[in-house]
Amino acid sequence: MGFSGVIGQEEVIRSLENDMKYGRIGHAYVFSGTAGIGKKTVAGIFAGMLICNAADISDPCGVCQACRLFISGANPDFRLIKAEGTSIGGDEIREIQGSVAIRPMYSKRKVYIIEDADNMTVQAQNCLLKTLEEPPSYVVLILTASNYESLLETIRSRARRISFKKNTNAQVRQVIAEKYGNDARGIEFAAAYADGIIGTALDLIETEEFIGLREKTFELVNRIKNSGLADIFSTFSFFEDNRDDYNVILDMMAMFYRDMLVAGETENEKILINSDKRDIIFNNARKYSPQQLVADIEQIEAARRAIKQNANFQLAVEQMLIKLREE
């Protein structure tokens, strides 16, 4: 796969394609941006382009010996370094130092990706600096970092920074659709929830736990209007059991109410976030006035704020549930 297969990140891709086009490949790059935004994916693709002996500006050839070895994960001219535990230490970086001195075997270049380079210890960073100061002409280092500022200034100043920005929801949706089909369960929700970060959307789609959580949240909201007070207190146990994910649950609830608001205003189901739940949403929407839905969304946000400010978890959740149930 080459740059032509990447969805979104247009600026990043244009800049790297220009480097390919004008033959001005840097010795070191830092790909910076939020976790899940696509840095590692693009770094892997860029490495494949740099390793190929016949790449154009957008795609590796896929058939030269360097490509074939790279695709099978056996090209010695490419190395991926990532943290074994929580940090990347001096030993791992010293290995690079030894390796850069040996000329490439199958490619014009030797390419190193250091994943989550912001996890390098200071010692490791200082060690890397020696390579960055006088890299052999064939070496390209690609560092990915969510936290650009934790790289030493001396490293930052020797590497070209490529900043990754959020994608649009439509682009995130497209990535999911290409991987899991247009009808993937929860696709609209995941695209909206991910807020431009593809990794977050894929995590949501791929996690059974999330799918279960979403189903249960829907059940909960679906019956809240007709429930008795006793039900409210038993509903709390759902929150208690999933306390670590309370933010996700509240997001799911807020998006359900948002969808009911939309459904009350228009018949257009295309703009629903939870389009796979359209029947439940349209049925429920009739039970509420728009003012009430706006107030309910505010209740959910109030509960979120209260919990964040260390209010009693149970009280905050129950108070919200009681308010949501009230006429």
Residues near Zn ion (CB under 5 A): 52, 54, 60-61, 64, 67
Q: How far is the CB of 304 from Zn ion (least distance, A)?
A: 51
Cβ(200)–Cβ(207) below 8 Å: no
Place of tokens 């990706």: 113
Q: How far is the CB of 28 from Zn ion (least distance, A)?
A: 23
Of 55 and 321, CB closest to Zn ion? 55
Count other C-beta atoms under 10 Å from residue 220's C-beta. 20
Q: How far is the CB of 1 from Zn ion (least distance, A)?
A: 12
> Helices H, strands E: what count in the chain?
15, 5
Identify which of 322, 182, 173, 194 has the alpha carbon closest to the alpha carbon of residue 255: 194
Q: How far is the CB of 64 from Zn ion (least distance, A)?
A: 3
Structure-derived torsion over alpha carbons of residues 235, 237, 243, 246, reported in degrees to the nearest 10:
0
Quick one: DSSP state of residue 273? Answer: T
Of 60 and 196, CB closest to Zn ion? 60
Of 2 and 33, CB closest to Zn ion? 2
Of 54 and 102, CB closest to Zn ion? 54
Identify which of 259, 85, 324 has the alpha carbon closest to the alpha carbon of residue 316: 324
Of 50 and 81, CB closest to Zn ion? 50
What distance in Å separates the CA atoms of residue 187 and residue 196, rounded to the nearest whole number?
13
Q: How far is the CB of 43 from Zn ion (least distance, A)?
A: 18
Q: How far is the CB of 18 from Zn ion (least distance, A)?
A: 20
Of 36 and 62, CB closest to Zn ion? 62
Identify which of 68, 98, 103 has the alpha carbon closest to the alpha carbon of residue 81: 98
